[in-house]
Structure 1
Amino acid sequence: MKAGIEPHYFGDDTKKIIHGDALSELKKLPPESIDLIFADPPYNIGKDFDGMVESWDEELFLAWLLECIRECHRVLRKHGTMYIMNSTENMPWIDLQCRKLFTIKSRIVWAYDSSGVQAKRFFGSMYEPILMMVKDPKRYTFNSSEILVEAKTGAKRALIDYRKNPPRPYNTQKVPGNVWTFPRVRYLMEEYENHPTQKPQALLERIILASSNPEERVLDPFAGSFTTGAVAIAYGRKFIGIEVNGEYIKMGLRRLNVSSHYSSEELVRIKRRKTNNLSKKSRES
């Protein structure tokens, strides 16, 4: 929510990084030009993003967020897919608004463990919700064979499925359900970047492999640590990333190997621990 910033553009048609305001830049994109959108917009819960603290009037924030979602719907192809994630507090409202524009195919829970104290007077949050939604509920990309996981119950116990004729062993693989267990990105992990809400590479791999094909275009309007872009490029997709924070733009330029006016010294990766971020406002009590 930083309107008025002078945008800068890096890269080419294969991988494009836009340093600018998400809503303003979304409005510039052609209609139905994107095959897959992954949106991880601000949660408005007091996080400090390298000096940009997300703490806005709730009514203004929600109005802005809804306009961003509408623009995402406009730029998404007829048979495209959009994923959006946000806080447990905001998601019920987001869900209701998105139902007016999209068909929601899955309500996903990204569950993770925590080494710290979550809360002392209520049950702390150990997950973040994600919506998978489409424009056309009968035709959209879902590459189930690309994201198979181990089917633990029947296959590991060598059970026989007697419902089949003839009976045969249970499958050893299956399509994941809607509860995804990926660890949060920690300081000692190789993929760690200096970003307070970095999403795991494995989470983006599942989304991109499932809901897009090689050469198709993936958009992340709140690119942050540019994990979406790094995964998209690694799997042969095209990518557009929009980000308002200049420090995170440098991450994207380095991770996607996009040329710019920055020197190699300015783009060098120096890991810092995430120590200055506020916890959820609701936990302060």
Structure 2
Amino acid sequence: MAARFDVINQTFSDENQKIIHGDVLLGLKAIPDESVNLIFADPPYNIGKDFDGLKEKWTEEDFLAWCYEWIDDCFRVLKPNGTFYLMNSTENMPFLDIYCRKLFTIKSRVIWSYDSSGVQAKTYFGSMYEPILMLTKHPKNYTFNHEDILVEAKTGAKRQLIDYRKNPPQPYNTKKVPGNVWEFPRVRFKMDEYENHPTQKPESLLERIVKASSNEGDYVLDPFSGSFTTGAVAKRFNRKFIGIEINEEYVKMGIRRLELPSHYSEQELAKEKKRKTNNLSKKNRQKEADTSASPQQNPLIR
């Protein structure tokens, strides 16, 4: 049975933050045209992950058709000078990249590179990164606060080299705008920001995106809010936030992290850290997929 709502189940909000508990396609349809400044979308990757009972299970054709549908709606709700960041797996991104070129200008193809957990492939080069597309509606008119995201320049500045190309010669800059390879550690169990979510993204990654591509008071949308890291970061930096999430357990995370009023008790919203042990390795997920007897079943959408 597909885990989809025919209507939006509930909303939770205050004057600056809003959570829509429901299916992403219905949630997006509730958002007015050209009303959002920044979108960060980290949808399911269709690799068999179990999101607390909602398990990815699409054919490739159905998965991509579904992605194209909500991407179209993201284009609709994004302001003319807005920016859209889209994450997905290395396997799916080529298809999404080609589709997005029809609607958006691709400004950057970012690589999020992270550390290994110690368990790595032995018969091929294992994946150590996830791709992110930076997309804009207008090729030149969009927000990019480069001074807010400067990082240390490790080459000439550290070695106190002189740039003789300049007249007069002067030391290299100590700060620079990051390139398109971002190194942020994945969220680990012992980290304070850890939530019980199998694909939680680090706050440091979202901080760079929110700071670079939005301003105070802007609307930030996350159509697959999950652990609500985007919302927590947006609130910290005085942005307004709209989050869509189908899974009630993750909605509770968002209510707690955004401090929104709700009917849930304090105990129901309490943070209780659990290790993410339900998901299989990539190798075992493939074995399970190969032996599945019901490929015609409807997909489960988180």
When the two structures are superposed, what TM-score results if normalisation uses the length of structure 1?
0.97
The correspondence for 1:269, drawn from 255, 268, 271, is: 271
* Partner of residue 68, structure 1: 70
* Partner of residue 237, structure 2: 235
1:138 is displaced (CA, Å) by 1.2
* Partner of residue 260, structure 1: 262
State the distance in 2 between where 1:51 and 1:155 align. 50
1:118 is displaced (CA, Å) by 2.5
* Partner of residue 118, structure 1: 120
Q: What is the identity, as a one-letter code, of the residue corresponding to 2:258?
A: L
Q: What is the identity, as a one-letter code, of the residue corresponding to 2:105?
A: T
* Partner of residue 106, structure 2: 104
Q: What is the identity, as a one-letter code, of the residue corresponding to 1:180?
A: W
The correspondence for 2:81, drawn from 79, 85, 88, is: 79
Q: What is the identity, as a one-letter code, of the residue corresponding to 1:97?
A: Y
1:4 is displaced (CA, Å) by 2.2
* Partner of residue 135, structure 1: 137
3-state SS in 2 of match to 1:152: coil
3-state SS in 2 of match to 1:132: strand
- Residues 281/28 of structure 1: CA separation in 2 closer, same or farther (3 Å cut): farther
- 8 Å Cα contact 2:161-2:171 kept in structure 1: yes
* Partner of residue 201, structure 2: 199
- Residues 5/279 of structure 1: CA separation in 2 closer, same or farther (3 Å cut): farther
1:183 is displaced (CA, Å) by 0.4
3-state SS in 1 of match to 2:110: strand
The correspondence for 1:182, drawn from 161, 184, 196, is: 184
- 8 Å Cα contact 1:45-1:281 kept in structure 2: no
1:6 is displaced (CA, Å) by 4.3
State the distance in 2 between where 1:207 and 1:79 align. 15
* Partner of residue 154, structure 1: 156
1:193 is displaced (CA, Å) by 0.3
1:121 is displaced (CA, Å) by 1.5
1:92 is displaced (CA, Å) by 0.5
Q: Spell out structure 1 runs of 4+ moving beyond 6 A.
A: none
RMSD (Å), alpha carbons: 1.3
State the distance in 2 between where 1:145 and 1:235 align. 15
- Residues 5/245 of structure 1: CA separation in 2 closer, same or farther (3 Å cut): farther
Superimposed CA distance per residue, residues 69-111 of structure 1 (whole angstroms, 9 cap, x where no aligned partner): 0000000000000000000000000000000000000000000
Q: Percent identity?
A: 69
When the two structures are superposed, what TM-score results if normalisation uses the length of structure 2?
0.92
- 8 Å Cα contact 2:8-2:27 kept in structure 1: no
1:24 is displaced (CA, Å) by 1.1
Superimposed CA distance per residue, residues 23-64 of structure 1 (whole angstroms, 9 cap, x where no aligned partner): 111012110000000000110100010011111122111101
1:115 is displaced (CA, Å) by 2.1
* Partner of residue 166, structure 2: 164
Gaps of 5+ in 1: none
Superimposed CA distance per residue, residues 128-183 of structure 1 (whole angstroms, 9 cap, x where no aligned partner): 00000100011100000000000010000000000001000000000000000000
State the distance in 1 between where 2:86 and 2:63 align. 16
State the distance in 1 between where 2:72 and 2:82 align. 14
State the distance in 1 between where 2:132 and 2:28 align. 21
State the distance in 2 between where 1:39 and 1:96 align. 17
State the distance in 2 between where 1:122 and 1:105 align. 31
1:222 is displaced (CA, Å) by 0.2
- Residues 234/50 of structure 1: CA separation in 2 closer, same or farther (3 Å cut): same
The range that moved more, 110-119 or 44-53, is: 110-119
- 8 Å Cα contact 1:111-1:126 kept in structure 2: yes
- Residues 32/13 of structure 1: CA separation in 2 closer, same or farther (3 Å cut): farther
3-state SS in 1 of match to 2:157: helix
Q: What is the identity, as a one-letter code, of the residue corresponding to 1:244?
A: I
Gaps of 5+ in 2: 288-302
Q: What is the identity, as a one-letter code, of the residue corresponding to 1:179?
A: V
- 8 Å Cα contact 1:109-1:179 kept in structure 2: yes
Count of equivalent residues:
285
- Residues 123/5 of structure 1: CA separation in 2 closer, same or farther (3 Å cut): farther
